[in-house]
Amino acid sequence: MARVEPIPREDLPQHEPMFQMVEQAMGFVPSSMPTMAKAPGLLEAFSGLAGTITRMGEIDRGLGQMIANVASHSAGCRYCQAHTAAHASEAGVDDEKIANVWEFETDDRFSDAERAALRVARDAAEVPNAVTDEQFAELHTHYTEGQIVQIVATISLFGYLNRWNDTMATTLEAEPLAFATEHFGDKGWAVGKHA
């Protein structure tokens, strides 16, 4: 159960255009958004930052979702793992590849470039940060500086979301729940329960 009750959507008419855009893009409005709306300006600021990062266009959307998934897995946020796995699938990433994303170091489905990005995602989400100069040098062999900025921005965005959703015990929505249950089995996923 959520630790702070979200404001009902019907009580947030000023945010309805934003909710409709998010709903069109994601298929639903994340439970975290109506909770953020309790703090004046937070929802708008967060949505602006998230939109800027996801629309940068420097990296493939599927890779961005796998980066977010690995960072969320490393941080332990199952809510964000379910979201990013479902979004990676929607972006065209093979479901088997998503299911094996944590095995990116040894799974042949992952390229050297993907491995470099996912390694940084995994290690950047650790506390303390475990990214090395060698890992960053490898990123530079596969990506432009603009792409690296979007990779790190994605990891950082999900650092915020991982802390928010885990701390607030955000309730996992039906859509990512269905994807997680179908592809990852019964590992404690449940309707109305924080992931």
The mean per-residue pLDDT over the stretch 114-124 comes to 98
**pLDDT at 194 exceeding the cut of 70:** no
Q: What structural domains does the chain harbor?
A: 9-184 (1.20.1290.10)
pLDDT digits (tens, 9 = 90+) for 29-54: 999 999 999 999 999 999 999 999 99
Q: Are 97 and 113 in contact (CB under 8 A)?
A: no
Q: Whole-prediction pTM value? A: 0.93
What does the alpha-carbon distance between residue 91 and residue 109 come to, in Å, rounded to a whole number? 16
Q: Residue 113's closest CA among 121, 50, 47, 40?
A: 121
The mean per-residue pLDDT over the stretch 56-81 comes to 96
At residue 184, the pLDDT reads: 77
Give the Cβ contact number of residue 57 at 10 Å.
Answer: 10
pLDDT digits (tens, 9 = 90+) for 153-177: 999 999 999 999 999 999 999 999 9
Long-range contacts at 122-126 (CB < 8 A, ≥ 24 apart): 122/70, 122/71, 122/73, 122/74, 123/74, 124/71, 124/152, 124/155, 124/159, 125/70, 125/71, 125/72, 125/74, 125/75, 125/155, 125/158, 125/159, 125/162, 126/74
